[in-house]
Each structure stands twice: as C-alpha cells, then as structure tokens.
Structure 1
Amino acid sequence: MFSKDILDLATAVLTAARLRGMMLVTAESCTGGLIAGALTEIAGSSDVFDRGFVTYSNEAKSQMLDVSAESLTRFGAVSAAVAKEMAYGALANSRGDISVAVTGVAGPGGGSAEKPVGLVWIGVACLGQAPVAYEYRFGDIGRDRVRQLTITEALKTLYLVISD
C-alpha cells in the first residue's frame, strides 16, 4: 500500500516521537488521511499517534479544526494561513503535542495561475509555539504523485521538528 521509503519515514517519525515523549496528530485535506494511514501502518503506533482529521471541505476545516471563515475567504483553503490554522486546530482538538497539516491542489484540474496543480502547503504546530507553514510546488505531475510527495514531505517535516 505504501512505499518502503514512506514506511521508513513513518517509522522514523514514530521512533523520534517516542524518544521525545510526544503525541502526534494529523490534519489532512489533499491527502485524505494517507499520512495518518502511513503512521498507523506501523504496528504499535497507538502509543504516540492520537488521531487524524480528514477535513476535505471548508466546512469540515471550520467545524473540526476551528479554521476561520475569514482565512478561508481571504486566502483560500490552499494557503499558508489555512495550513497553520489547521495545524493549530488539530492540537487544540486532540491530545497531541505536535501536528502536521496539509492542504493543496492535487489535480487533475482545479488549479489556477495563482494556485496551480501541485501547490501544497504543509503546516506544523507544537504546543507552546506558533505554527509554521511551508510551501511546495510539485507541478502538474499527476494526482497520485502529488499526494505521495506530500506524504513524504509531511513526514520529513515532522521528523525534523521532533528531532530538533
């Protein structure tokens, strides 16, 4: 189901979280729960993985993660502001110590000149710190590939933040 590289990254994230005593949570839009799926593919992950939110619609982002209507209207769902609010909201609505959130345009279609297919924002939040967001422009390389790269980059980001 998941590539060896993704499973190796997921294992590294879980191991790092155990070493730091951190509970993980995910908030996903364009990946539809695949990051949580990769983490929970590893046996024993329940000791450091609390939950995953799949918030594909704007309504779900608002209801489950407290993303503001103003941010959704002003910046759009695929934005740094929304990625940060998703990450923060995931922590606020869970037992997590660290969260990763993803929102993007996986395609095919749905992109624009300003927000092309392959644009993804990854947000990370840790308790007691301001959330941050990172922009990725993978290009119009196919839905599956955009999602795979998003999973990979989200797991790498989690690992780096936890290990820092």
Structure 2
Amino acid sequence: MQKLLHFSALIGVLNFLTGRSHTNIEGSHVAACQDTLYQYLKARDNGSAAQYGSLFTPDATFAVPALQIELKGKEAIVTRQQAAIKTDKTMHNLTSSEISINDEGKITALSHFILLKRSYQQPPNKQLEVFNGRYLDVLEIKNAQCLIKERVVLIDRKEQWRL
C-alpha cells in the first residue's frame, strides 16, 4: 500500500512538472468563460454600460466584417452597444459554444448564435431581422474572471421576416 501511495505521489509530481496538473485550473477557466459568454447575451440586449463593459478587457477588439464594424477598446465597444439598445430591440441566443485552451494557455471560443432584431422605428409585429452566425473569441482570465479580448462576429445568414 505504501508503494502505491509513493507511486501516486510520483505521478502527481510528474503531472505537475509536465503541466498536466492544470486540469482543475483549466476547468474553472472554462466554467468562467462559459458564464461570460452567457452573460454577454443579457448585457448586450439591455445591459447597462457597466454590465456590458465588465465583460471586455480594456484593449478589447470587436469586429463584424459583413457590417464593416471594427471597434478597438472597451470604451468604443460599450459606446456602440449603448447606442444600439436605444434604436433596436434585440434578443441574442447561443445555440452552441465550444471553449478551448491550447498548450500555451490561450483561451478561444467558437459560438453559434441566432439574433432577432427589430427597430423601434418599425411598428410592433411588422418586420423582424433574423441573423445566424458565429462568434470567434479570444478570451483572457484576469482576477479569476474571464473577459473577451477579441471578438469577430461572422454573419452566415440574414433574413427579413414579416410577421
């Protein structure tokens, strides 16, 4: 039994030295990043500037190539979100998310989304824009919180629905 305990301790030390002991840390990072991805949805649709801004690093970038949007810095990202929630009613939904951590500790996520959008200028129940697409994210852990460092939004499909 004592030999088994020594062998287990040796395996633990080897795992630590080879970087395999980070499983629990990586697991908590993945959980924190999953939480951030879901918090994004609520904050984007109707969150305060502080709520939305708390999800990004100070030097974050945000791009939507199909709409020719390229923002640099948390302040610019938050300013755009605050302006958007005044003109459009939106509901963002994630259909799937996959978070990965590479050997160097870089955290990335691929999420598929559906966005329902209606302008406040449109009469209710008249026209709805429906977007399907992907978020390509680079995430960063700071003070045990997962933050969005880079987000590229790829729009795969956009339709106008009349209700």
Give the TM-score, by structure 1 length: 0.29
Question: Greater strand share, 1 or 2?
Answer: 2
If asked which structure has higher relative contact order (CA below 8 Å, sep 6+), I would say 1
Q: Which has the larger radius of gyration?
A: 2
Give the TM-score, by structure 2 length: 0.29
